A and B are shown apart, each in its own frame.
Chain A
Amino acid sequence: MSDVIQRLTRKQIAARIAADIPDGSYVNLGIGAPTEVANCLPSGITIILHTENGLLGMGPTPPPGAEDPDLINAGKQYVTANPGAAYFHHADSFAMMRGGHLDYCVLGAYQVSITGDLANWHTGAADAIPAVGGAMDLAIGAKSVFVMMDLLTKAGKSKLVSRCTSPLTGIGCVKRVYTDHAIFDITPQGTVARDLVPGLTFEALEKLCGVPLRRGT
Chain B
Amino acid sequence: MNKICHSLGEAVADVPDGASIMIGGFGDAGVPFEAIDALIAQGAKELTIISNNAGTGDQGIAALIGLGRVRKIVCSFPRQADSKAFDERYLSGELTLELVPQGNLAERIRAAGAGIGAFFTPTGYGTLLAEGKETREIGGRNYVLEYPIAADYALIKADRADPLGNLVYRKTARNFGPVMATAAACTIAQVAEVVAVGDLDPEAVVTPGIFVKRVVAVKPDHPRA
Chain A's closest residue to B108 (CB) is A91
Partner of A71 from the list B107, B171, B177, B206 (CB cut-off 8 Å) is B171
Asked if A131 meets B79 with Cβ closer than 8 Å, knowing A52-B102, A72-B27, A167-B128, the reply is yes
Q: Compute how far the CA of A76 lies from the CA of B224 in the bound complex, rounded to whole angstroms.
A: 13
Contacts of A131 in B (CB 8 A): 76-80, 99
Question: Do A91 and B110 touch across chains, with their CB atoms under 8 A apart?
Answer: yes
Question: Do A53 and B175 touch across chains, with their CB atoms under 8 A apart?
Answer: yes
Q: What count of chain B residues pass the 8 Å CB interface test?
A: 51
Chain A's closest residue to B56 (CB) is A76
Question: Do B179 and A90 touch across chains, with their CB atoms under 8 A apart?
Answer: yes
A-B interface pairs (CB < 8 A), number: 141
Q: Compute how far the CA of A94 lies from the CA of B29 in the bound complex, rounded to whole angstroms.
A: 18
Interface bin, chain A: 35 or more
Question: Do A87 and B125 touch across chains, with their CB atoms under 8 A apart?
Answer: no
Question: Do A87 and B79 touch across chains, with their CB atoms under 8 A apart?
Answer: no
The binding surface of chain A is classed by DSSP as loop
Contacts of A53 in B (CB 8 A): 26-27, 29, 172, 175
Given A90-B179, A130-B97, 14 more pairs with CB closer than 8 A: A54-B26, A55-B171, A70-B171, A90-B106, A94-B103, A98-B122, A127-B91, A130-B99, A132-B99, A132-B102, A134-B101, A136-B103, A137-B103, A167-B127
A-contacting residues of B (Cβ < 8 Å)? Answer: 26-30, 52, 76-80, 83, 86-87, 90-91, 97, 99-107, 109-110, 121-129, 142, 169-179, 206, 224
